[in-house]
Chains A and B, each alone.
Chain A
Amino acid sequence: MKVLIVDDDRVSRMLLGHIIGREFGGAITEAIHGAEALEVLKRQTFDFILLDLMMPVMDGLQTLEAIRANDALRQLPVVILSAVKEEQKVRRILQLGVTDYLAKPLQPKAIVQRLHRIVPPIMEAKQARGDEGADEAVPSQVEELKPLVEIVVADADPIFRSFVRSTLGREYRIIDAETGAKALRRCQEARPMMLLLGEGLGAVDRALVVRKVKAEPELKGTLIVGLVPPARNGMPGRNDAAPSDPLTEKTLTRTFVPAAFRGQFAKIAFGMQTAPAEGGEAGGEIVAGVRLELVSTVEQVFGMMLGVDVEQLSAHPQIPGTWISAEVDLTLLHEDFTLGVVCACPAETGNRIATLMQSTSSDWVGNDLAAAALGDIAAIIAERLQRTLAEQGRRVQSSVAAVKRGPSRGPEQALLRLSFNSYDGDLPFHVAVRGDVKAVPAGAMTHSARTM
């Protein structure tokens, strides 16, 4: 593993270098500012880069912009160091795309935990691309690396599992399971976006796997897709529907033709091939495809702007009292469909967020400032989602954040509910995505305010 650490502080570079060397045995290269880093990147390739933001000569944001503007480096995984309070900078960083962040000051134990979460997907993606020899390659050979979303492939046939890995492994983290029991375990560990369910799974058969996954609240967001044999007369085409499967809502024909498999997969994952017939279903598919990216965005916003590590919770705690919420509508033009990105938290949490964002020592900044801070966060998260949807070929327009204050009510009708809290448990925060079917003419801007 090769890592470039870019930080003007020698103590930080040394600390990070020690930790990476000890935990992963990586080869470390150091640069003291962005200009030096770009010089190094011209000559060597790296698996990822740790990039501080505040540096002399060329700061981290300028460096990130230069990296993303370079065809050879565009997909280089970048982990941001240090906290950024300015909303505009956070927006720009998320727009440019980063893999993760490490909040400063660096806490050795937290860094070790975080790196163990960050590094494996990067290295697995590298392995999936089959570019183990790329260490010696010229930078122009740096390949595409997209944010990793997990898919569990449960099938007895190792050749088919390998086929799925080679076909989808560049875009997704493919997790193998040769038996039903292993598939369940992998699902519980990874909470994947999708479970591809094949045949010959042993004692824990397909039906049992489906029952168990559906009964698991944490796997509510996991779409179960049955792998079914091809029709008798040959292989499916890119747009052919797979035969139905009584156990699962969606099916994929078990083909070894990459284009046919990818075509079917895209249709299920993003609804790319067909117009949505029903808002809820279409919204569910869209949201399933962006779920992990939303989680990552929320973590990055909190980590970079507030210097607080938050984690996604498996349950959705109901906290009484006054809540504030902010919502940004994303109108999917030509699809008669609107997604509402809702951020909500107790008023106390909103106050703490505003206090951290403004670096003020006041105990209470007032509800208006707290609501405004929440609106800023909602806008940043919605902007990231909008960009992802645009990358899928969708035309999207956003509204301004509408802020609402009111009693606590859970977002029961949401297509997606995500609950977060800081590790010390004093920053409860919800993000929900609602879906509404409504005819909105192209070019229209919507404003809305809803209670959660």
Chain B
Amino acid sequence: MSSSDRFMSHVFPGSPAIDSEAIEHLRLLEDEEEPDIVGELIRLFLANTPPRIANMVSGVKSGDLVAVGRAAHSLKSSSAHLGAIGMHQVCEKLDGLKDSTHVDEAAHLVGLLQKEFEVVSRALQVIAADD
């Protein structure tokens, strides 16, 4: 069991927030010349995600679901790369909400994404520290 597995997903209750297999796949890219790729990717993800979530929050407030979808699409890939399966799932749903009648659903999903990111960031910090 990985040390990050104690951080549980809000999206998939009972499952770890980070799929440790995805991290293991990334570790295969590390070698003597590039010993900390996983750490670098995590730091980049942790730095880039809050502004994107902030864009989604303001998009929901102004009813601009296109802006929400754009930010979600961008975050969807990087979440998956780092094994944040719950974040990926929520971003996938947000990316598909184009109709303004879905503002309430978008607000709920962005709230869920914020909560998920809290546990994901703690789990990733543990992984980066172990690296």
Q: Which residues of A line the B interface, CB within 8 A?
A: 8-12, 14-15, 18-19, 22, 54, 56, 82, 104-109, 359
Contacts and interface: CB of A to CB of B under 8 A. Distances in A.
A9 B40 CA distance: 14
Contacts of A14: 40-41, 44
Contacts of B81: 11-12, 15, 105-106
Contacts of A56: 70
A19 B25 CA distance: 12
A105 B88 contact: yes
Given A15-B81, A108-B26, 5 more contacts: A9-B78, A10-B78, A11-B48, A14-B41, A109-B28
A10 B46 CA distance: 11
Nearest to A52: B77
Contact of B41 (A11, A105, A109): A11
Interface in B59-114: 70, 73-74, 76-78, 80-82, 88, 96
A12 B70 contact: no
A14 B42 CA distance: 11
Contacts of B80: 104-105
B77 A12 contact: yes
Which 10 residue pairs are nearest across A and B when measured between Cβ atoms?
A105-B80, A11-B78, A54-B73, A104-B77, A108-B25, A9-B78, A105-B77, A9-B77, A11-B44, A9-B74
Contacts of A54: 70, 73-74
Given A56-B70, A105-B88, A359-B96, A12 B78 contact: yes
| Interface residues of B, dominant DSSP | helix
B82 A22 contact: no
A106 B29 contact: no
A11 B77 contact: yes
Contacts of B128: none
B20 to A, nearest CB: 15
5 contacts: A14-B44, A56-B70, A82-B77, A105-B77, A109-B25
Nearest to B70: A56
Contacts, number: 55
A22 B41 contact: no
Nearest to B71: A56
B130 interface: no
Contacts of B31: 22
Nearest to B28: A108
Contacts of A8: 74
Given A11-B41, A11-B44, A14-B41, A22 B73 contact: no
A18 B77 contact: no
A104 B29 CA distance: 18
Nearest to A110: B25
Contacts of A15: 26, 41, 81
Contacts of B82: 11
A57 to B, nearest CB: 11
Nearest to A81: B77
B49 to A, nearest CB: 9
A10 B49 CA distance: 11
A11 B73 contact: no
A107 B31 CA distance: 18
A288 B33 CA distance: 46
Contacts of A9: 48, 74, 77-78
B45 A11 contact: yes
Interface centre among A14, A82, A105, by most B CB within 10 Å? A105
B8 interface: no
Contact of A10 (B28, B48, B70): B48
B126 interface: no
A441 B45 CA distance: 61
Interface string B30-51: 0101100100110011001000
Contacts of A22: 29, 31, 33-34
Interface centre among B28, B41, B74, B76, by most A CB within 10 Å? B74
A446 B80 CA distance: 46
Contacts of A104: 77, 80
Nearest to A107: B25
Contacts of B48: 9-11
A104 B77 CA distance: 7
A106 B34 contact: no
Nearest to B33: A22
Nearest to A109: B25
A192 B37 CA distance: 39
A109 B45 CA distance: 20
Nearest to A106: B81
A107 B80 CA distance: 9
Contacts of A106: 77, 81
Given A10-B44, A105-B77, A18 B37 contact: yes
Contacts of B96: 359
A293 B80 CA distance: 31
B122 to A, nearest CB: 18
Contacts of A10: 44, 48, 78
Contacts of B25: 107-109
Nearest to A359: B96
Contacts of B88: 105
A22 B30 CA distance: 10
